[in-house]
Structure 1
């Protein structure tokens, strides 16, 4: 009998020995969420021998670092709600098939990352590092990253030209951080790839520059007092001057929890003509 899916969640498993998996050459999916697994309990070749493994779920365990070595075939690695504070050098160097890496709700500090930490993740699309203890944006992210989730950290600023290395990022979440106006790049978030930008619960006093392509903007619960439309209204997209969707694409804007008083400024509505919802 060929086993492709193995579900062992909600047990008291502490170790992953090598021997039980010696003949499990067709395993595609392992779910070991909610156990008591530690890094010391994982034998060195136990996971890397699974040459066809695609999904590895180790959420809610006792891991203190990202396990290694892992099989090249892996597409999703879920490590949420562990105690991960270390990423050993070379951990991701051979994981070119990985598309999703979930490290949310761990104990990551800035010193967990080296410039080459994410080298090798050529196809990574979603990176979740929410609910950690980061003060800076992680360095040198994979170029194909489309979804970057960094909510609930202590990030104070974003380096100039930070988004140049991730030109495909479309969904960016930075809610519940410590971002201020001074901590943003001079061009703000004028990044053509970003479609959904979430900056709720920060320390911004003004609306940052945005791209004409942006569709959803969350700025609730900051310290914004007014909206300077002449600054934030993106220039018209040349390719769309004669199209039906003329002008900026913003459809949803959230500004509640700031110091802005109604009514909604008319020049805001004149700039963002596709707006379907504005919350103040």
Structure 2
């Protein structure tokens, strides 16, 4: 049973995930796009004082430090009788529809106001109310029903969150003239190009984070502050309003920008020029995935470390397209239209730091030439690769190689194809047309998968020397008991997991290694379990035998008596009169596979 033709690889590079978490905020759902500055939660164990002393509303909890928590108590009106010394006010998750000047006029010490997830409208907010909060640093108004932003916010503001409203307009003094402003969240609104003032952040020269994803913008906003280091301008994939063009010089004044997210738009190579990104001298992460690019863009900045170009229509990589990005570490080109002959042999030349290359779900007919010599992860699955030559994989530092779901046959897989992969730990050849396990596999392997092929043979010596192999997956092939040479499994002295499910075995293999912990034998033709079946595997924890030809009489219960570590014995369905009598063996319940 093979995976769907366009399935995503099961194993993504751990290095890629770690780097993204450290260096680039991975683009996620718009409503969670950025982590907001945390509000201090009132400590109810600490110094809780009488309501009369602080002027604490009965529905809320208050602390002597000036924190008032009224979150999620079904308030329909702004709480009355708040103390003048209130510094942090939590009103999120209520049903408040209106806030007047009178409500706020005495809160001169208020620093944090959280109004997320209420029923506030623009008509229900009086502009002067926020303006008089001279100490206000953090304002959270996400998930309300505002159609226009407040005209004036106090200059003390550090962070403002207006995400997930219905904003169509921003005013010059909404975010302008805020010298301390560092982050603004405007994603998931209805902002258009005409709804933004020309100098939206005038004299707000400390702004670092701006998210404007999933709006109705068609052009990159102009006059962005030079202090920005993270800019989100992506849209949701289903949106009909997408960026089509990046105006000339749009990013020229952003020397500090480190992360730029432009995914899910309608950007083309014609909609930008070779200088579009060239002046972003600090840029490390550029996401142009799911656009309409036909070729890898030129003029990329030197310090770029991650370039995400997934889901475009890229058909070629010119020899000079990546010549400037000497610090590139991650290049993600999956789900495009690349053919091997359209990748220039010098395309990756000079990329000495490039260690992760994803090119799966393309139209590659063979392994591309000139691959980065220091690559550690190479994902070539779901292409049309039909051959691997002797020198195609001259990658001495490669640790993970995925060639699954291509068109490989033994005849066109050179027996020395893997000879230079001396530190390779993970190899996936699943979903090809191999009829025998390939010779010359790296002895450094920890994980080997060759499922969903046509294997009928494991030739003599194929597994010799693989003393680091922990997991071997050979499921859904045509292996029989005599398909493997004598003693093949015993050579795998470090093996803990062996998957032989979905083959044509009639007996349990007799030469299993002592290190084995899990063996998967379901969906074979096994008709008996003799007393000696597992005598050489004292460490085994899981045995899976469902969908075979077993019956109570053909299973010798003594075959499990010495297995003190056995946790799962799965006969499941598909056998005759199984599970065993009493449903227990060695005092352990015979478990269904779903119970593991």
With normalisation by structure 2, the TM-score equals 0.43
What is residue 455 of structure 2 aligned with on the other side? none
1:111 to 242, 261, 270: 270
User: Structure 1 residues 19 and 3 mapped into 2: Cα distance closer, same or farther (>3 Å)?
Assistant: closer
1:106-145 alignment, distance < 5 Å:
106-145=265-304
CA contact (8 A) 2:365 2:384 kept: yes
CA contact (8 A) 2:300 2:324 kept: yes
1:54-203 alignment, distance < 5 Å:
54-81=208-235, 83-187=242-346, 189-190=348-349, 191-203=351-363
What is residue 489 of structure 2 aligned with on the other side? none
Worse overlay, 255-264 or 107-116: 255-264
Deviation at 1:194?
1.0
Deviation at 1:268?
4.0
CA contact (8 A) 2:176 2:202 kept: no
1:257 to 405, 408, 424: 405
Deviation at 1:231?
3.1
Worse overlay, 252-261 or 65-74: 252-261
Q: Deviations over 1:206-246 (max 9, x none)?
A: 11232331000010111101211323314xxxxxxxxxxxx
Deviation at 1:265?
6.5
Is 1:216 matched up with 2:354? no
1:34-73 alignment, distance < 5 Å:
34-73=188-227
Is 1:273 matched up with 2:434? no
- Runs of 4+ with deviation above 4 angstroms: 261-266
**Which structure 1 segments of 5+ residues have no match?**
235-247
What is residue 240 of structure 1 aligned with on the other side? none
User: Structure 1 residues 7 and 24 mapped into 2: Cα distance closer, same or farther (>3 Å)?
Assistant: same
CA radius of gyration, larger in? 2
d(CA) in 2 for partners of 1:48, 1:262: 65
With normalisation by structure 1, the TM-score equals 0.90
CA contact (8 A) 2:319 2:347 kept: no
Deviation at 1:65?
0.9
d(CA) in 2 for partners of 1:170, 1:69: 31
d(CA) in 2 for partners of 1:230, 1:77: 42
d(CA) in 1 for partners of 2:197, 2:372: 49
CA contact (8 A) 2:287 2:308 kept: yes
CA contact (8 A) 1:115 1:139 kept: yes
Higher relative contact order (CA 8 A, sep 6+): 1
CA contact (8 A) 1:217 1:253 kept: yes
CA contact (8 A) 1:269 1:275 kept: no
Q: Deviations over 1:87-134 (max 9, x none)?
A: 111111110000111100001011111122223211111111000011
Deviation at 1:261?
4.2
What is residue 14 of structure 1 aligned with on the other side? 168
Deviation at 1:168?
1.1
Deviation at 1:12?
0.6
Worse overlay, 16-25 or 212-221: 16-25
d(CA) in 2 for partners of 1:133, 1:113: 12
How many residues are aligned here?
Answer: 267
**Aligned to 2:323, what secondary structure does the other structure show?**
helix
d(CA) in 1 for partners of 2:160, 2:416: 57
Deviation at 1:266?
5.6
d(CA) in 2 for partners of 1:187, 1:206: 16
Q: Deviations over 1:126-185 (max 9, x none)?
A: 111000011111121111111111100001101113222111111001111111112111
d(CA) in 2 for partners of 1:206, 1:119: 33
d(CA) in 1 for partners of 2:253, 2:316: 31
1:228 to 389, 395, 411: 389
Deviation at 1:48?
4.1
